[in-house]
Structure formats: structure tokens, C-alpha cells
Amino acid sequence: MTSSAVAGKGLSLTMGGNAIAEVTSIGDIGMDAETIDVTNEDSALNVKEFIGGMLDGGDIAIEGNLIVGNTNGQIAMWNALKARTVQTFVMTFPVAITASWTFTAVVTAFKTKQPMKDQLGFTAKLKVSGIPVLAIGASVDATTIAISVGTIVPAWAAAVYEYADAVVTGTASVTVTITDATAASITVYDSFTGGTTVCSSGVASAAQNLGAAGSITKLTITCTDTGKVPKIYVIWVVRA
């Protein structure tokens, strides 16, 4: 029989919608249930009896290559540890699986690794708060995506997820309009400021700032249906 197993390469992890760069290992995600011993004098056949107790999402261990320029990912985890704040994480499986875990967690450890004969790295630990949500199946494609300045290339089409914008001149920002009536959440992230904005279907986004003349800004659009894996679109914008 041919196995249906899928290689783990291709996982991604975000915190607050921002990618944690160059992750090499993500630990187990799920839940364990405690049990309560309710054995009593009336228990039959001298057999112990149990009932279910509290659920616990446990700890998730993460490892990766150290990228100090990943200010909204790896460095943001370090800052979240110091602030002791609960964060929202999304772990997306490789595309062959079409599934993702969404969970809230507290960053309980962040350390750098500096071996003499190997690459610099980091380790982190997340303590899950609440119940992780396993989404299976993909969100529906957006109906249209348009940009306020220039023209995306190729022309918009369903199931095409990466575009280049014509060279932008005379402006330091653009807006993006996404039409996706089924999405429960639509966000746009720009690589220049590292900021994420929330959008509504059919309504122009807030201004997405572009880098200096000659630079390229990556706009990442995430459309998520309830209980489904997000559809992610990328537009590369070149500022003349």
C-alpha cells in the first residue's frame, strides 16, 4: 500500500499575523486531559474509576535560525516574553495538507544559541492558553483584489496568489481593495513598516506605506473564512 504521509517541510508560524522567520522545528500542538480518580467503596471488581478533568494545551517548543532583523517575528517574541502578554499564533501546515492550528499562548522562554561550528539559532517555548483550534480545508478564494496605483501583473485571477505591481511613481503609499464576502477576517501586512491593518470586503484599506525610491515593498493579504485555512496573496510594489 502506498503511504499518504506528507513531509513536514513547508510549515510556517506567525505571531499576531507576522511571520516568525526561518523556523526549523515546531513542537507538538494539541491538548492533554487530566483525569480525576473517583474510585470509591462501591466501585465494582476492585477496578479504579476515572472522570475527565481539566484540559491543558501544554508547552510548544520552537527552534530556528537566528534572524535579528525579523523585528516583528523573532524579536517580537522576545519582547512578548518580557511583557508577559498573551499572543495569537497560527501554525500552517504544508500546502499538501490544507490545515492550520490557531492558538493563544504566553511566550515563556526565548534564548539564542551560539555554537562555534554551527549557525546561530534561537529556541523559544510557548505555554498554550485556552483551546487550540484546528482548521481543516481552505478558505474560499477572494473575488477580486485591486491596488490604488498601478496595475497588478498578471491580471487578477482566482487561484493566483502572487502578483507584481507596475512601478509606482509620485506616491509614498497605496491602498488595496479586497472583495471577499465569505471572509471573517481580512488583513494587509506591509514589509516596510511591519504593520498589519484590518480591512473590510470591498472597502479600500488604510494607506500602506512604501519604502524609499528604488525599494520594493511586499504587501501580504490574508483572507480567512471561519474555521478554514487562510488564503494568502502577495503583491510586490516597486517605488520608482
Q: How confident is the model at residue 221 (pLDDT cuts 50, 70, 90)?
A: very high
In this predicted structure, the answer to whether residue 140 has a pLDDT above a threshold of 90 is yes
Contacts for 152 with CB less than 8 Å, ≥ 6 apart = 145, 146, 163, 164, 165, 166, 235
Mean pLDDT of 107-133: 97
Task: Pick the last residue of a domain from 119, 136, 153.
Answer: 136
pLDDT tens per residue across span 180-195: 999 999 999 888 887 7
For residues 107 and 177, state if they share a domain. no
Residue 5 lies in a domain: no
Specify the DSSP element, H or E, that contains 77: helix 74-83
Query: Is residue 107 in a domain?
Result: yes
Domain of residue 176, residue span: 144-238
pLDDT score at 94 = 86
CB 106 within 8 A of CB 127: yes
pLDDT (tens digit per residue) in 94-113: 877 889 999 999 999 999 99
Q: How confident is the model at residue 65 (pLDDT cuts 50, 70, 90)?
A: very high
Would you say residue 3 lies in a domain?
Answer: no
Question: Which domain-ending residue is among 98, 114, 136?
Answer: 136
Among 136, 171, 201, identify where a domain stops.
Answer: 136
Question: Per-residue pLDDT averaged across 115-143, rounded?
Answer: 95
CATH code, domain carrying 22: 2.30.110.20
Same domain flag for 125 and 175: no
Number of domains forming the structure of the chain: 2
> Do 15 and 80 meet the contact criterion of CB atoms below 8 Å apart?
yes
Asked whether residue 66 is domain-assigned, the answer is yes
Residues 28 and 103: their CA atoms lie apart, in Å, by 13
